[in-house]
């Protein structure tokens, strides 16, 4: 006999998929807003514990120091969403700085154009090889890492020669400030806005998501898969060269020892921001939060004083491991629902 709550009406039974739907929705919210929430919590702790953390000067310095990593992370977000990876960005960053410092003797325009052209060509070549031959991005970009680093060492006489920035206008691009923030910070914000619009509302962004979700399905929908892959690696090369050039302008020299391991920090910032390593999901807003979270952690460690930068790597690695595990769990939950 069917139980009745009122005369003639069966008792209401919970919908079998309601709990699963709520769990899936909670997982999506966690993936999208997890990094900003953790960033706010860590920043709040830093502001309470350390008197100088929330000062305007410290926050401006934090934004400036994070801007170069963030610029590269814009391109890396596109690459990872498309289902790829780029290990060469650290070497391209160093190469871009050396090329910019050397070319500054010919003016600010040359100091910007040369690293963009060379690093863009490296990204274009990597994208073409990956798209046309089907080789693993890990292998191709690992070769790009070694090649870009070797080219940088050849230009700098095995790192023994450091080129100084000779253009005052170019140096001002990295050292100038407006309303308390350096110019690279404004360039970074502009790139995130433009990249976010392209990713969420532009056709190019939709193609990137489609390729990362399923290449076979993207081909059936008429998406130019090969061209999309080439474009995302070209974008990453251009942004790595731009970040290197701006850093050279900030330091007034092309420092050859920079960029080693930077690709891992970039990938960590992107993944901590919620972009799936398997591709097909992610957002630049999360990437910005992930990069800033790494910067805040480093800043807090510097505030402590008794800890070395090695602890920042330990904490960043721990964050990355936790995020990857959570992403794996959320992906499994979504497949079951």
Mean pLDDT of 155-181: 85
Mean pLDDT, range 237-261, rounded to an integer? 89
Residue 177 φ then ψ, to 5°: -130, 155
Lowest mean pLDDT of 43-52, 65-74, 93-102, 185-194, name the range. Answer: 43-52
3-state SS track over 97-159 = HHHHHHHHHHCHHHHHHHHHHHHHHHHHHHHHHHHHHCCCHHHHHHHHHHHHHHHHHHHCCCC
Listed residue (105, 257, 237) closest to 168, CA to CA: 105
Question: Which candidate, 230, 239, 243, places its Cα nearest to that of 204?
Answer: 230
| 97-133 burial code (b ≥16 CB/10 A, e <16) | bbbbbbbbeeebebbbbbbbebbbebbbbbbbbbbee
Please report the pLDDT score of residue 6 as a whole number. Answer: 44
The CA–CA distances, whole Å, from 99 to 58, 118, 124, 285 equal 30, 9, 18, 31
Question: What's the pLDDT score for residue 325?
Answer: 73
Residue in this structure with the two tokens 């040359």, named with its chain if needed: 110
Residue 3: is its pLDDT beyond 60? no
For residue 177, the SS3 value is strand
What pLDDT is attached to residue 35? 76
Weakest mean pLDDT among 1-10, 37-46, 113-122: 1-10
Residue 150 has pLDDT above 60, yes or no: yes
The structure's pTM equals: 0.86
Q: Which two three-digit tokens encode residue 288? A: 């910005």
Write the pLDDT tens digit of every residue in 49-90. 888 888 888 889 889 989 999 999 999 999 999 999 999 999
What sections of 221-308 are H helices per DSSP? 225-251, 262-272, 284-304
Per-residue pLDDT tens digits for 190-248: 999 999 999 988 899 899 999 988 888 988 888 899 999 999 999 999 999 999 999 99
For residues 16 and 332, the answer to whether their CB atoms sit within 8 Å is: no
Residue 95: the pLDDT is 93
Residue 5's pLDDT is 45
- Return the pLDDT at 190: 95
Place of tokens 């410290």: 58
Q: How far apart are CA 299 and CA 157, in angstroms?
A: 34
Write the DSSP string, 54-111.
TSHHHHHHHHHHHHHHHHHHHHHHHHHHTT---S-HHHHHHHHHHHHHHHGGG-HHHH
- Is residue 249 a contact partner of residue 171, using CB atoms and an 8 Å limit? yes
Question: b vs e for 136-153, b when ≥16 Cβ sit within 10 Å of the residue's Cβ?
Answer: ebeebbbebbebbbebbb
Residue 9, φ and ψ in degrees, nearest 5: -120, 130
Q: Is the pLDDT of residue 114 over 50?
A: yes
Does position 327 have pLDDT exceeding 70, yes or no? no
| Alpha-carbon distance values, 23 to 30, 150, 280 (Å) | 10, 49, 20
Report the pLDDT value the prediction gives residue 268, as an integer from 0 to 100. 87
Q: From residue 102, how far is each of 1, 44, 97, 151, 259 by CA, in Å?
A: 88, 42, 9, 14, 18
Q: State yes or no: pLDDT of 309 exceeds 80.
A: no
Q: Which residues, in sequence order, are CB contacts of 167 under 8 Å at separation 6+?
A: 104, 105, 107, 108, 111
pLDDT at 313: 72
């Amino acid at each position: 006999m069917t139980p009745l709550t009122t005369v003639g009406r069966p008792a209401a039974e919970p919908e079998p998929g309601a709990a699963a739907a709520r769990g899936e929705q909670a997982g999506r919210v966690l993936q999208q807003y997890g990094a900003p929430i953790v960033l706010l919590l860590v920043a709040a702790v830093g502001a309470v514990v350390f008197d100088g953390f929330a000062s305007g000067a410290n926050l401006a310095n934090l934004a400036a120091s994070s801007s170069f990593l963030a610029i590269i992370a814009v391109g890396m977000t596109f690459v990872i969403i498309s289902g790829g990876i780029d290990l060469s960005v650290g070497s391209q960053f160093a190469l871009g700085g050396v090329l910019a410092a050397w070319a500054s003797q010919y003016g600010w325009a040359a100091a910007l154009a040369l690293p963009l052209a060379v690093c863009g060509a490296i990204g274009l070549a990597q994208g073409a090889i990956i798209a046309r031959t089907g080789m693993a991005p890990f292998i191709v970009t690992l070769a790009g890492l070694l090649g870009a680093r070797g080219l940088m060492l050849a230009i700098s006489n095995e790192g023994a020669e450091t080129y100084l920035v000779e253009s005052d206008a170019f140096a001002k691009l990295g050292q100038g400030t407006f309303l308390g923030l350096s110019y690279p910070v404004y360039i970074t914000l502009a790139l995130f806005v433009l990249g976010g619009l392209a990713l969420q509302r532009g056709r190019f962004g939709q193609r990137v998501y489609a390729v990362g979700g399923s290449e076979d399905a993207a081909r059936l929908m008429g998406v130019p898969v090969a061209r999309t892959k080439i474009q995302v690696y070209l974008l990453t090369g251009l942004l790595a060269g731009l970040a290197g050039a701006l850093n050279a302008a900030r330091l007034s020299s092309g420092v050859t020892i920079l960029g080693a391991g930077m690709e891992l920090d970039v990938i960590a910032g992107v993944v901590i921001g919620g972009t799936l390593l398997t591709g097909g999901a992610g957002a630049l807003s999360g990437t910005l939060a992930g990069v800033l979270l790494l910067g805040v952690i480093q800043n807090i460690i510097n505030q402590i004083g008794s800890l070395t930068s090695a602890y920042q790597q330990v904490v960043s690695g721990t964050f990355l491991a936790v995020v990857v595990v959570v992403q794996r769990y959320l992906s499994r939950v979504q497949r079951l629902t």
